Structure 1
């Protein structure tokens, strides 16, 4: 047997084909394509966008920062969520850097043979991502004040 043969695809790699953090604009089509599978009957998609207000104040923009371990933690969360839903596949991409109002900050998707599991897994993924992945938001308000969100 040849030693240069590629390793077999792990179950986690099949269940979570796309996980990334990036400073460039997020492409919804990329996330959908990562979950393209003839066995899935449902695909849910959540896009978190930068809104123009928070806490009753206008927001002029924000920056996302990520801890050096954030990508590994994001993958761990995705694999853990996927493991809790039989046959579900997940994808998650989060922005870092400066974002403007209306920009996509995070895109998560789940596919499954049936819609119910896809909805449940997608919700679990975004909730755990927000709670566990060390990504912090520095929000700048239109009145000149600012705040950090999600910092330890």
Structure 2
């Protein structure tokens, strides 16, 4: 299952296929680009002493795409960026594979770097994509992003 929304200056992809850093960076580069900033989130093999063998991602896809596009619009208001690519895996993601790739281009590096940082934070906080860690011992845990408003305890 894949949802690929590619426009002239914004590419949003949710897919169960492996992600390509080359595709993301190729999309964002244009003739006036002086900087490309890229974030790649990968599946790690250990969490709090537990051996992780894979992750599983699920999403409410129509809402996820809508929220990602809103984050991209917000980025364009805050920084003079050229192009934005937000690619996210769904389904099973093995250790060392990319779960998310964000690539943003601009004239200067500072804008691209700040925009990528903002994008990953907002993606985790606002976009309905959920992650389950599957462990070597057969146990599994749905993970809660600490950035989400609903994850903040009201004590």
Residue-pair matches, total: 139
Give me the CA root mean square deviation. Answer: 1.6
- SS of residue in 1 equivalent to 2:44: coil
Structure 1 gaps of 5+ residues are: 1-12
Misfit runs of 4+, over 6 Å: none
Q: Is the 2:53–2:94 Cα contact (8 Å) retained in structure 1?
A: yes
Indicate yes or no: 2:27 matched with 1:61.
no
Residue 134 of structure 1 corresponds to which residue in structure 2?
Answer: 128
Instruction: Indicate which of 24, 27, 37 corresponds to 1:34.
Output: 27
TM-score with structure 2 setting the length: 0.83
Larger radius of gyration: 1
Q: CA 1:150–1:67 in 2, change beyond 3 Å: closer, same or farther?
A: farther
Name the stretch that deviates more: 127-136 or 70-79.
Answer: 70-79
Q: Please state how far the C-alpha of 1:141 moved relative to its aligned partner.
A: 1.5
Structure 2 gaps of 5+ residues are: 1-6, 151-155
- SS of residue in 1 equivalent to 2:87: strand
Q: Distance in 2 between matches of 1:87 and 1:27?
A: 21
